[in-house]
């Protein structure tokens, strides 16, 4: 039986950069718990012989040849950006390197 | 194959008595494809910012990724070169917010990577386990502006997405290394394999091969400590320095009663120190889930057999072949250097022609390794070594002739003759030495009756005079032997 704590919801919200108020946490925690409980019905089944499904389609090994195709979109995309400099996107300084 | 060594390596000499270090490496290498992993943009370093971008690698709405077949081929090739099993694999999204990824997630492989469970044999004989080698996309490049270019003081950042979506393989080793020397060896050997297989151009200075080190310390015989990950290692030398510095920093902390915090640290080459970058996030925090826009990769047995058949002879096997031909250990310096510099075929051919293997390897290690062997033919090289062995040329003369052979491709006999090189015969050498003894009676007395230190110095003195008197044609070893014989030693 899946259960979900208020702290877990707050943590997941933080990871998604969502600022939830206390009232919103109170609202969403039981809602999310109910969704998980729904999925937990599946856990009751014996699925040892069923491989995990990552995709619904019966497809594999879909690829393209390694051939260059220039898009030529750079100037249009830069023109649509909030701020640019020297052909680059200008963004607020972010502390630290990539996670 | 190289003989696998025991998994426990000797303690690193830089650590205080009783301490050990444990190192695992994560190496990212950019694959040598023409295009990016999921779009047709050029995979090319050094172009004008953002010229190699399209809606897919800029993460624009409505765009979809299509996998590059050649990237898969190269990743599998590397996996087989590292003795991995190639498996059915699935791409996942690794979610995080940072402007180096316009999509707010990186496409990588998580629980089902392409390559699993291999190993890499170091030239020194140690076998390092490979946990996995998975395919993922590279990120864009951030240029921090203002604050002297330092990350923490930057006023804003400029983003270039030319690198965003470039195909990478991340090779994760087991924590099998016990010294910075082994870590350097691993990085060097892995680079040699990447080059030999054509998987990557593996340029550390351009970032097409990037090494992160996980380092922890412990009291020998006790459990391993908390590890820190070090980033920003731009050369093999930085890798070694950073590991030693980090291990000593952790030991200092523990000796002062503090604890090591699991975190990512940034190596600063100029100051020779590591600094905190951020506290490490847990894997859960990335909220991995299968990438719905890309279907599973399922290599067939025939694919794997074809890749195996096309693999070039790898450095470890080349070392072992040369070692067998020379009758020495695969870990010996001459063998390692010969393979590293691509001189092993030359050395083997010379040895096969009957030249003395020890002298061949000595020339490779000390005279050819630095400047290369440009115009040198295996036959000429073999002949030169034979002339040296027979006493027709002294070691010094042989070195001079070899340098000219490398430059001009000439035959050793002709070069030796043109330079007037003829080894001194025994009687001429004796005549020179007798003359020197008469002229330097006091030094000779010290040579005969002095202690080892004095004799060592005076040996240099007399042999130098012999060389002068013979215009460099005397053989130093023969001169030393004759001096000692005359002194009754």
Tell me the per-residue pLDDT of B44-102, one tens digit each, with 9 for 90 and over.
999 999 999 999 999 999 999 999 999 999 999 999 999 999 999 999 999 988 899 99
- Domain end (from B261, B284, B310): B310
Nearest CA in chain A to B277: A96
How is chain A split into domains, by residue range?
6-43
Tokens linked to B312: 């070039």
Instruction: Tally DSSP H helices, then E strands, for chain B.
Output: 15, 15
**What tens digit of pLDDT does each residue of B260-280 get?**
999 889 898 888 888 877 665
One domain for residues B175 and B190: yes
Query: pLDDT tens, B422-477?
Result: 766 667 788 888 888 988 988 898 888 888 888 888 888 988 888 888 877 777 87
Instruction: Name B8's Cβ contacts closer than 8 Å, sequence gap at least 6.
Output: B178
pLDDT at residue B279, rounded to an integer: 65
A&B contacts, CB < 8 Å: 145
- Determine whether the interchain pair B40/A61 forms a contact, defined as Cβ–Cβ distance below 8 Å: no
Phi first, then psi: what are they for B68, rounded to 5°?
-85, 115
Domain boundary among B280, B310, B340: B310
What kind of fold does domain A6-43 have according to CATH? Histone, subunit A (1.10.20)
* Same domain (yes/no): B66, B136: yes
What share of chain B has pLDDT > 90, as a percent? 62
Residues B332, B413 within the same domain: yes
Asked if residue B302 belongs to a domain, the reply is: yes
CB B202, CB B191: distance < 8 Å? yes
B4 is a domain residue = no
Q: Are residues B200 and B263 in the same domain?
A: yes
CA–CA distance, B449 with B447 (Å, rounded to integer) = 6
Same domain, B451 and B409: no
Structural domain ending residue among the three candidates B418, B434, B468:
B418
B210 and B275 fall within a common domain = yes
| Per-residue pLDDT tens over the stretch B197-222 | 999 999 998 889 999 999 999 999 99
Could you tell me how far CA B402 lies from the centroid of its own chain?
A: 27
| Residue given tokens 């003395």 in the structure block | B356
* B2 within some domain: no
3-state secondary structure of B398: helix
* Interchain pair A60, B295: CB under 8 A: yes
Residue B279, phi then psi, degrees to nearest 5:
-75, 135
Partners of residue B266 in chain A, C-beta under 8 Å? 97
- Same domain for B403 and B462, yes or no, is no
Q: Do A60 and B298 touch (CB under 8 A)?
A: yes
Question: What is the tens place of the pLDDT at every residue in B24-41?
Answer: 999 999 999 999 999 999
Alpha-carbon gap: B283 to the closest alpha carbon of chain A (Å) = 11
Q: What is the mean pLDDT of residues B148-154?
A: 60
pLDDT of residue B485: 86
Secondary structure percentages of chain A, helix, strand, coil, to 5: 40, 10, 50
CATH number for the domain spanning B478: value is: 1.10.10
Separation in Å, CA B134 to CA B87, B88, B168, B201: 10, 12, 8, 18
Rounded to an integer, what distance in angstroms lies between the CA atom of residue B346 and that of residue B379?
A: 9
Q: How far is A13 from chain B (nearest CA, A)?
A: 11
**Is the confidence at residue A92, as pLDDT, over 90?**
no
Kindly list the residues from chain B whose CB atom is less than 8 angstroms away from the CB atom of residue A88.
49-50, 143, 158-160
The predicted model scores a pTM of 0.80
Counted residue by residue, chain A has a size of: 99
**Domain range for residue B455?**
426-486
Portion 137-166 of B in contact with A at CB < 8 A? 139, 142-146, 151-152, 154-161
Whether B174 maps to a domain, the answer reads: yes
Question: How many Å apart are CA B140 and CA B50, to the nearest integer?
Answer: 9
On chain A, the residues whose CB falls within 8 A of the CB of B139 are 98
Task: Collect all residues of chain A within an 8 Å Cβ-Cβ radius of residue B70.
Answer: 65-66
Residue A71 to residue B155, Cβ atoms within 8 A: no
Among the partner-chain residues B71, B90, B157, the one whose CB lies closest to the CB of A91 is B157
User: What total number of domains does chain B contain?
Assistant: 3
Q: Which of residues 71 through 110 in chain B touch A, CB cutoff 8 A?
A: 71-72, 90, 95-101
């Amino acid at each position: 039986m899946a259960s979900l704590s208020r702290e877990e919801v707050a943590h997941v919200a933080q990871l998604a950069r969502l600022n939830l108020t206390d009232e919103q946490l109170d609202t969403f925690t039981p809602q999310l718990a109910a969704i998980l409980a729904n999925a937990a019905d599946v856990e009751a089944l014996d699925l040892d012989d069923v491989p995990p499904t990552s995709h619904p389609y019966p497809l594999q090994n879909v690829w393209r040849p390694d051939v260059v195709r220039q898009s030529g979109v750079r100037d249009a995309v830069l023109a649509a950006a909030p701020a640019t400099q020297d052909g680059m996107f200008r963004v607020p300084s972010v502390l630290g390197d990539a996670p | 194959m190289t003989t696998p060594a025991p998994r426990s390596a000797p303690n690193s000499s830089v650590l205080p008595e009783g301490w050990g270090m444990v190192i695992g490496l994560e190496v990212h290498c950019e694959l040598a494809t023409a295009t990016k992993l999921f779009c047709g943009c050029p995979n090319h370093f050094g172009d004008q910012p953002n010229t190699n971008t399209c809606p897919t690698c800029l993460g624009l709405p409505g765009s979809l990724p299509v996998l590059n077949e050649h990237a898969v081929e190269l990743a599998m090739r590397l996996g087989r070169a590292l003795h991995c099993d190639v498996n059915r694999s699935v791409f996942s999204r690794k979610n995080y917010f940072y402007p180096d990824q316009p999509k707010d997630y990186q496409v990588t492989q998580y629980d089902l990577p392409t390559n699993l469970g291999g190993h890499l044999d170091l030239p020194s004989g140690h076998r390092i386990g490979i946990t996995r080698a998975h395919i993922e996309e590279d990120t864009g490049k951030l240029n921090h502006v203002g604050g002297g270019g330092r990350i923490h003081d930057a006023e804003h950042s400029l983003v270039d997405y030319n690198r965003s979506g470039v195909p990478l393989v991340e090779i994760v080793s087991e924590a099998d290394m016990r010294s910075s020397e082994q870590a350097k060896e691993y990085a060097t050997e892995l680079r040699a394999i990447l080059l030999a297989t054509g998987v990557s151009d593996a340029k550390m200075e351009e970032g097409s091969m990037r090494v992160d080190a996980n380092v922890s310390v412990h009291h020998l015989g006790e459990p391993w400590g908390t590890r820190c990950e070090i980033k920003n290692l731009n050369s093999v030398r930085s890798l070694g320095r950073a590991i030693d510095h980090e291990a000593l920093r952790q030991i200092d902390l523990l000796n002062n009663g503090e604890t090591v915090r699991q975190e990512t640290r940034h190596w600063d080459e100029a100051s020779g120190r590591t600094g905190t970058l951020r506290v490490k996030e847990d894997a859960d925090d990335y909220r991995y889930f299968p990438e719905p826009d890309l279907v599973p990769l399922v290599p067939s047995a025939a694919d794997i057999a074809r890749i195996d058949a096309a693999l070039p002879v790898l450095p470890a096997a080349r070392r072992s072949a040369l070692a067998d031909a020379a009758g020495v250990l695969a870990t010996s310096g001459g063998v390692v250097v010969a393979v590293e510099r691509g001189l092993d075929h030359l050395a083997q051919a010379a040895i096969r022609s009957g030249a003395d293997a020890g002298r061949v390897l000595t020339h490779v290690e000390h005279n050819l390794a630095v400047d290369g062997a440009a115009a040198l033919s295996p036959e000429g090289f073999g002949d030169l070594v034979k002339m040296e062995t027979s006493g027709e040329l002294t070691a010094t003369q042989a070195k001079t002739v070899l340098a000219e052979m490398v430059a001009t491709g000439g035959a050793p006999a002709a070069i030796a003759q043109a330079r007037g090189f003829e080894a001194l015969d025994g009687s001429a050498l004796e005549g020179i030495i007798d003359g020197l003894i008469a002229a330097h009676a006091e030094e000779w007395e010290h040579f005969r009756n002095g202690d080892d230190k004095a004799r060592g110095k005076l040996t240099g003195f007399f042999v130098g005079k012999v060389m002068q008197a013979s215009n460099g044609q005397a053989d130093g070893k023969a001169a030393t032997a004759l001096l000692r014989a005359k002194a009754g030693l």
